[in-house]
Amino acid sequence: MSVPLVQLAPNLTVSKLCFGTMTFGEQNSASQSFHLLDQAFDAGINFFDSAEMYPVPQRAESQGRSEEYFGRWFRERKIPRDQIVFASKEHPFFGSYYLKFSQVSGPSGQMTWIRGGPECLDARNITEAIDNSLERTQMDYIDLYQIHWPDRYVPMFGETQYDPTKQYTSIGVEEQLVALAKAVDAGKIRYIGLSNETPYGVMMFLRFAEKVPHYPKILSVQNSYNLLCRTFDSGLAECCHHERIWLLAYSPLAMGILSGKYFSPDGGPADARLNLFKVKLLAHLTFSGKYLEGESRYNLSNSMVKAATMEYLDVARRYGLHPVSLAIAFVLRHPLVASAVFGATKSSQLQEVINACQVELTAEIVAEINGIHARFPNPCP
């Protein structure tokens, strides 16, 4: 079984599944990570995503391990560079989002161990972040470099209302594009993308890129998209369609919620992500950073989340589909989705996702999915 491919650019072809390395260095040891990477690559996955702040939850002791592990695997396996597509992301100041959680995360929320806790996404920080990622991976270049989230206030990770009073001074888009253009010219990166962006942000980057032919154009947007979060379709999809920008859909399983494991009688395995880190954080163990997205967006105590998930699980059961297959197939059928960015800590989980990319949903199943969405719209925005 081989994972299908899609052409993002004239000389950039990626697998429809993108293996995210966010667990490498916390939940997965180096040897476990290598085993998962071998399995993914052997199945035809050539697209791998990381970030300088990974693994998650973030802490000084493990920061950068995800990139380091991937680079070690790539070198030890002696894989030709043109056979993989590596994407990474920088970590800007988190702005008002961290202020929202300041009482529980404290100063560590700013991740001061990354470049002293960047206060803005200026040219110096962009350049340093790229250089550091190249050093950790020991690679000559990064195929797709993404701004992890906007360097300005935007509602994100569970927030739905825009509050103009939360805006803070931020670096202009043009300075960011100049720094990225210089990195492209230097051969450090090939393409650029955005992540956790809004229609306004996408169009601003495109507007400035049109001013100077030398500026790189946004190739992709990596935003959350799954059965419980379809906010991409409300505005951003139109931008991406007309401007020919691909969606890299992260969290296609809503951090494992759509597998159904958290709603089993035992609450799911103890080492499942939302259980594992909740226990560790409540016990005040060694983690100095909070897993804020897990706490805010994927809230298992939200009755709407459970109600919607149970209905999707029932659809999968009635049509003889694995819940993972239903969730992944739904994401991949979107015409603007180039690849689904997923994570896996176990070989069995990885195989379930690989199997799912071969599933096609019938019109009848899609109609039922849309009916559930109408009753429970975006409980994990």
* Ranges under pLDDT 70 in the chain: 1, 92-110, 118, 278-296
225 a catalytic residue = no
Q: pLDDT, tens digit, for every residue of 296-335?
A: 688 888 999 999 999 999 999 999 999 999 999 999 999 9
Q: pLDDT, tens digit, for every residue of 22-44?
A: 999 999 999 999 999 999 999 99
Per the CB < 8 A criterion, the answer to whether 23 and 55 are in contact is yes
pLDDT at 105: 28
Angle between the 236-243 and 199-211 helix axes, to the nearest 10 degrees? Answer: 30
114/129 Cα distance (integer angstroms): 9
Buried b (16+ CB within 10 A) or exposed e, 248-265: bbbbbbbbbbbbbbbeee
Q: Does domain 5-375 have CATH number 3.20.20.100?
A: yes
Q: Nearest-CA neighbor of 85 among 45, 133, 53? A: 45
Residue 82: DSSP 8-state? G
pLDDT at 110: 61
Q: Nearest-CA neighbor of 328 among 348, 355, 303? A: 355
Q: Catalytic pick from 54, 262, 291, 298?
A: 54
**Residue 7's Cα: distance from chain center in Å?**
20
Burial zone of 208 (CB within 10 Å; 0-12 exposed, 13-18 middle, 19+ buried): middle
Q: Give the start-to-end residue ranges of the domains of the chain.
A: 5-375
